[in-house]
């Protein structure tokens, strides 16, 4: 039987969860990993979660943000409502881990730990349901689709999933952070993640007679180089920002100058001022450089995920809960935000909360085909969810 906070030593809750639910959490993670789903198309994953929650005293709403789930646990006494969120979707990556339970769907893989996040939250739901008679308040579990670019968190907010929630938390496995350590910070913890498409048009012609045309490939190369000056020369050096061109499409033959080059890229920032400035300057600079080389450039810019900004009180609560659970030596305040993006940002814009990193040590990075981790982290993540909920209900 999982014990409640009182009288529990550091790590005891994690051991209790491992003893009582460890095998089920691992089995669920592996089942989800074998059958990854992308975006909002997470019906099979949601079904696995529903099966894992069967028999618990939860009010479950299905079909949220298409294939998301919201499960509500009402404690024995009235009190605040705290939300715990996990993402369920995978990535379009060909897995190269060699695991016995590797993806069975070619070109799709859980390369960002969402299989673990989902399994950990299910484990926390089981543990908190056992504590129901001792809870003063309500815990709402969010199983969210489409974090990887689809904005499933935004859709959940728009559909009212956070109504009544007073504080919300999410965990993310974090390579590079020592195994089992917890880190977060007040303010920006993840960057705004925006994207752009840039079309550079020139005049095509024979590759042997470039003077008769206007080469958009050469112009695009100059544009790409010029864009790097935006961060190095127009953004305050103390302000984190990134402009990356990650895609370039042009041409169909080695000896033909094409008429059009299409570029695609991402822009990351952690302040509203920089986020608003960069699109205008990308357009001005691209058009100016292209015009100087007898070409034209048109920009299509999309504001995607806003800055993931943690609430200070929630961060203090999270760090205290983690310290009590794992020991102070296992908890640290992050020095700087990650420039990765996260659609938990949409939830944090609605209610105060915190996004928390849980270390998995020196493993292959997120979004790589060999990403994997020691599954001993699963009960630890479930325990941290429980500790966050307990402390939030006491706050």
385 assigned to a ligand binding site:
no
Confidence (pLDDT) at 11 = 61
User: With 70 as the cut, is the pLDDT of residue 367 above it?
Assistant: yes
Confidence (pLDDT) at 5 = 45
Confidence (pLDDT) at 1 = 45
295 assigned to a ligand binding site:
no
pLDDT tens column, 53-94: 999 999 999 999 999 999 999 999 999 999 999 999 999 999
Task: Kindly report the CATH class assigned to 12-187+307-394.
Answer: alpha beta
Task: Enter the tokens of residue 15.
Answer: 């051991």
User: With 80 as the cut, is the pLDDT of residue 28 above it?
Assistant: yes
Q: Is residue 108 a contact partner of residue 51, using CB atoms and an 8 Å limit?
A: no
What average pLDDT does this structure show over 308-312?
Answer: 98
Give CA separation, 307 vs 53, 129, 297, in Å: 32, 33, 28
What average pLDDT does this structure show over 2-21?
Answer: 67
33 assigned to a ligand binding site:
no
> In terms of DSSP bridges, do strands 296-305 and 192-201 run parallel, antiparallel, or are they unpaired?
antiparallel
Q: Would you kindly state where each structural domain of the chain is located, as residue ranges?
A: 12-187+307-394, 192-303
pLDDT tens column, 243-263: 999 999 999 999 999 999 999
Confidence (pLDDT) at 21 = 87
Domain 192-303 has CATH 3.30.70.360: yes
Rounded mean pLDDT of the chain? 96
The Cα–Cα gap between 239 and 307 comes to 13
pLDDT tens column, 152-203: 999 999 999 999 999 999 999 999 999 999 999 999 999 999 999 999 999 9
């Amino acid at each position: 039987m999982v014990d409640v906070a009182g009288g529990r030593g550091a790590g005891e809750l994690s051991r209790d969860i491992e003893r009582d639910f460890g095998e089920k959490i691992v089995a669920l993670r592996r089942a989800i990993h074998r059958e990854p789903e992308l975006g909002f198309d997470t019906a099979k994953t949601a079904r696995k979660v529903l099966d894992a929650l069967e028999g618990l005293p939860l009010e479950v709403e299905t079909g949220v943000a298409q294939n998301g789930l919201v499960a509500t646990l009402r404690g024995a006494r009235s009190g605040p409502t705290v939300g715990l969120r996990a993402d369920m979707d995978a990535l379009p990556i060909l897995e190269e881990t060699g695991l016995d339970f590797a993806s069975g769907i070619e070109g799709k893989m859980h390369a960002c730990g969402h299989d673990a996040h989902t399994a950990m939250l299910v484990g926390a739901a089981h543990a908190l349901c056992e504590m129901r008679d001792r809870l003063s308040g309500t815990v709402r579990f969010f199983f969210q689709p489409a974090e990887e670019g689809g904005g499933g968190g935004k859709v959940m907010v728009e559909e009212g999933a956070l109504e009544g929630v007073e504080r919300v938390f999410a965990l993310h496995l974090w390579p590079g952070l020592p195994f089992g350590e917890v880190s977060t910070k007040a303010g920006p913890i993840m960057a705004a993640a925006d994207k752009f498409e840039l079309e550079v048009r020139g005049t095509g012609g024979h590759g042997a007679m470039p003077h008769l045309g206007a080469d958009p490939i050469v112009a695009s190369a100059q544009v790409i180089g010029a864009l790097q000056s935006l961060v190095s020369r127009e953004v305050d050096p103390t302000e984190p920002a990134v402009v990356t061109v990650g895609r370039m499409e042009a041409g169909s033959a080695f000896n033909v100058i094409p008429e059009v080059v299409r570029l695609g890229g991402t822009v990351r920032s952690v302040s509203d001022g920089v986020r608003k400035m960069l699109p205008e300057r990308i357009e001005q600079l691209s058009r100016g450089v292209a015009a100087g080389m007898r070409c034209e450039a048109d920009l299509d810019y999309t504001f995607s995920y806003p800055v993931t900004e943690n609430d200070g009180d929630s961060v203090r609560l999270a760090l205290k809960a983690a310290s009590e659970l794992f020991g102070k030596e296992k908890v640290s305040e992050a020095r700087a935000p990650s420039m990765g993006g996260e659609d938990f940002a949409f939830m944090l814009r609605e209610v105060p909360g915190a996004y928390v990193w849980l270390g998995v040590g020196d493993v292959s990075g997120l979004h790589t085909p060999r990403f994997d981790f020691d599954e001993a982290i699963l009960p630890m993540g479930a325990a941290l969810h429980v500790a966050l909920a307990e402390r939030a209900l006491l706050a």
